[in-house]
């Protein structure tokens, strides 16, 4: 049902990870300035290369499946595009981001001819290759972003971009680069607009809410889901009048969300357990917990009781600190391992406990009555 993996014989936190096209190799960042490339050999992982061009902690990795290029971004305000040479080693090319704060997230577009980088500079850098000068350049999306961009995702048409930020807003922008793209067709979000024009804006909460941690377009691009630090799940549809459906949960804050079918999303975060929710157009409902080993309720109340017990009894035994779940700390990254957003069959998660876990969604949810994945 599940596969558990660690790398390098230690349990250093994994900031993020990304797979190559056939899932034979993985790129991970062990919570520092490096990116490690591993190849799977049976049940073992062999270290192939260490990408150490960044000076500070790597925040984002994305591996383009068709062009086989890796893009990374880091707190050092830089991004690199890595290409593999004939010797199998990865060579970096610096990207001109033109930002004065940390780069926080990065994502290739579906056609892999450009990528977007979010940052603490209150802007998004949309980067593309300028063949005349043989380098990667960027154009900025600025207004009306008022704080750090924490998460990005591309619309399947390769033009629209959704961004979540710490100003409690989720916005859909046009990321059209006329120098490299043909005139795009209209979408449910509206007609074609020039780079940087906003097509929709959603508040995470009318009462303040929390920072937006993760955003995701659905497979058809007509829906957007996001999660934030208010432990709620939100889904909005195109032409919904900037109104979203919200479900407040009892769990600790979510850090990741991803569509796994037209009606289902997977969310996870500080509760250490991947959860599947379904959306029927009017309400969001919990459908399944992937971690069947969990016995304790992973809610905010449960966590508070654990800490109160530790404080009251001054105990640090394993019985108090070990969670009855596979992940032992917050899950910070989710990737689709098999399938796509329209029909994912397996997903991978990594987190602060240094583990990579591959979950078989179909097997784990087969016994759930009424679940439509």
Compute the mean pLDDT over every residue in the chain, rounded to the nearest whole number: 90
Q: What is the pTM of this model?
A: 0.90
Q: Residue 167: pLDDT above 50?
A: yes
Residues 247-275 have pLDDT tens digits of: 999 999 999 999 999 999 999 999 999 99
CB 288 within 8 A of CB 269: no
Residues 336-368 have pLDDT tens digits of: 999 999 999 999 999 999 999 999 998 776 644
Domains along the chain with CATH numbers: 3-294+318-369 (2.130.10.10)
The residue that leads in pLDDT, 362 or 6, is 6
């Amino acid at each position: 049902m599940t596969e558990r993996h660690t790398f390098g014989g230690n349990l250093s936190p994994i900031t993020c990870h990304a797979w190559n096209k056939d899932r034979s190799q993985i790129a991970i960042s062990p919570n520092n300035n490096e990116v490690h490339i591993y190849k799977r050999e049976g049940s073992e992982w062999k270290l192939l290369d260490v990408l150490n061009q960044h000076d500070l902690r790597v925040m984002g990795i994305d591996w383009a499946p068709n062009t086989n290029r890796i893009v990374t971004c880091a707190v050092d305000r830089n991004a690199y595009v890595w290409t593999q040479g004939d010797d199998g080693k990865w060579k970096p090319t610096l990207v001109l981001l033109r930002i004065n704060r940390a780069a926080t997230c990065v994502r290739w577009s579906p056609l892999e001819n450009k990528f977007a980088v979010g940052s603490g500079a209150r802007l998004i850098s949309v980067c593309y290759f300028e063949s005349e000068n043989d380098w990667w350049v960027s154009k900025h999306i600025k207004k009306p972003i008022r704080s750090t961009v924490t998460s990005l995702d591309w619309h399947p048409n390769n033009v629209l971009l959704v961004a979540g930020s710490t100003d409690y807003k989720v916005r859909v922008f046009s990321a059209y680069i006329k120098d490299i793209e043909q005139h795009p067709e209209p979408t449910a979000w509206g007609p074609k607009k020039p780079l940087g024009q906003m097509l929709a804006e959603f508040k995470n909460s009318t009462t303040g809410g929390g920072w937006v941690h993760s955003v995701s377009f659905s497979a058809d691009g007509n829906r957007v889901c996001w999660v934030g630090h208010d432990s709620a799940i939100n889904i909005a549809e195109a032409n919904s009048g900037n109104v979203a459906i919200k479900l407040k949960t009892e769990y600790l804050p979510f850090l990741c969300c991803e569509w796994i079918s037209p009606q289902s999303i997977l969310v996870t975060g500080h509760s250490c357990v991947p959860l599947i929710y379904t959306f029927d157009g009017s309400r969001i409902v919990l459908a399944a917990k992937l971690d069947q080993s969990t016995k304790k309720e992973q809610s905010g109340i449960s966590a508070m009781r654990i800490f109160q017990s530790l404080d009251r009894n001054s105990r640090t035994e394993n019985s108090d600190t070990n969670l009855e779940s596979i992940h032992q700390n917050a899950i910070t990254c989710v990737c689709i391992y098999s399938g796509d957003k329209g029909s994912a069959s397996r997903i991978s998660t990594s987190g602060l406990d240094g583990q990579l876990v591959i979950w078989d969604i179909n097997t784990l949810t087969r016994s759930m009555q009424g679940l439509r994945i």
